[in-house]
Amino acid sequence: MRSNPEEIAAYYRQAIWGGQYRTGDALPRAVDVAEEFDADRKTVLDAYRQLADEGLVEVKRRAGTVVTYAAPMRWMGTERYSRSLRARGVPAFAADREASGQPWQRSDQSTMVQRVRASPEVAEALSLPVGTEVIERSRLVRDAGGRPTQSLTSWYRVSDVEGTAIETSTENTAGSGGGYSVLDGLGLGPTQVTEDLWPRMPLPAEAKLLELPGSVPIVDFTRWARHHDHVVEFARGLYVGPRFRWSYTSPISD
């Protein structure tokens, strides 16, 4: 049975993600791939176009199909929330960039803030009655090339952050070190963070938001940030799976 474009794209996608082909390497000629996979040249070119749409390769005249995928960023786990980074004016998304040797600027993050009624999930997380007014802060982060890497929406009690930069700042980050630096100034800086990660395929609306074809996996992210026993932020996010390498260092309890 002859291979289809999806099968050929999947093979080279995994080869690129796995490091068999690195940035600047050329993929094999379409005619050679067609022979190897028992396909015609058009099928291979369709597969290469899929990879180009995903930002993994670029088709260049004379040079062929060249890998443009960069090594994934290091996602630093709870280290990205450290007070020392916040004090230096480094928000969490930028901490990942710095740890990965990648540039960043505050305008990489776009923000929308509004007051909404708490859904059952948000109400439970913040220990509020369903329908209570809360502050919702949504962010979309792009890399230096303009491609989305993650989205994140946080919810806060009005009584905790009303009138602060978390509610009023709609350009870039809320504070110099992100929203947690604002909470620090309120005496509500997070002392504990719980995170829940779920790798999966994106829904159509999620793929549109992150400008992805449906074949690229995402990581569904949930976070509870506490100041001692008080949940000060509940957040839900989506990360483009292949853009990050998840790295954690944690103490081992007795």
CATH number where 223 lies: 3.40.1410.10
Does position 62 have pLDDT exceeding 80, yes or no? Answer: no
Mean pLDDT, residues 30-43 taken together: 92
Q: What are phi and psi of 181, to 5 degrees?
A: -70, -30
Is the same domain home to 60 and 79? no
Is the same domain home to 84 and 61? no
Is the same domain home to 211 and 95? yes
Is the same domain home to 100 and 219? yes
Is the same domain home to 60 and 93? no
- Residue 65's pLDDT is what? 92
Is the same domain home to 28 and 150? no
Query: pLDDT tier at 229 (50, 70, 90 boundaries)?
Result: very high
- Whether residue 252 is contained in a domain is answered as no
Query: pLDDT tier at 22 (50, 70, 90 boundaries)?
Result: confident
Does position 111 have pLDDT exceeding 90, yes or no? Answer: yes
Q: Higher pLDDT residue, 221 or 242?
A: 221
Look up the domain containing 45 and give its range: 5-67
pLDDT tens, residue by residue, 131-176:
999 999 999 999 888 889 999 999 999 999 999 999 999 988 998 8
Closest Cα to residue 180, out of 196, 170, 193, 197? 193
Query: pLDDT tier at 113 (50, 70, 90 boundaries)?
Result: very high
DSSP H stretches of helix in the chain = 5-17, 30-36, 41-53, 83-87, 92-99, 120-126, 158-161, 165-168, 179-185, 204-209
Is the same domain home to 167 and 241? yes
pLDDT tens, residue by residue, 180-207:
999 999 999 999 999 999 999 999 999 9
Is the same domain home to 111 and 218? yes
Indicate which CATH number applies to the domain containing 22.
Answer: 1.10.10.10
Is the same domain home to 77 and 55? no
- Whether residue 254 is contained in a domain is answered as no
Rounded Cα distance, 151 and 116, in Å: 18
Closest Cα to residue 109, out of 166, 172, 153, 167? 172
Is the same domain home to 63 and 78? no
Q: Higher pLDDT residue, 117 or 79?
A: 117
Q: Write down which residue in 31, 51, 67 finishes a domain.
A: 67
* 3-state secondary structure at position 35: helix
Rounded Cα distance, 228 and 107, in Å: 32
Strands 64-67, 57-60: pairing is: antiparallel
Is the same domain home to 162 and 88? yes
- Whether residue 114 is contained in a domain is answered as yes
- Whether residue 11 is contained in a domain is answered as yes
Number of domains in the chain: 2
With 0.85 as the threshold, say if the pTM is over it: no
Is the same domain home to 104 and 145? yes
Q: Write down which residue in 29, 52, 67 finishes a domain.
A: 67
- Whether residue 43 is contained in a domain is answered as yes
Rounded Cα distance, 217 and 214, in Å: 8
- Residue 214's pLDDT is what? 66
- Residue 60's pLDDT is what? 82
Q: Write down which residue in 67, 93, 118 finishes a domain.
A: 67
Does position 243 have pLDDT exceeding 90, yes or no? Answer: no
Query: pLDDT tier at 102 (50, 70, 90 boundaries)?
Result: confident
Rounded Cα distance, 144 and 42, in Å: 33
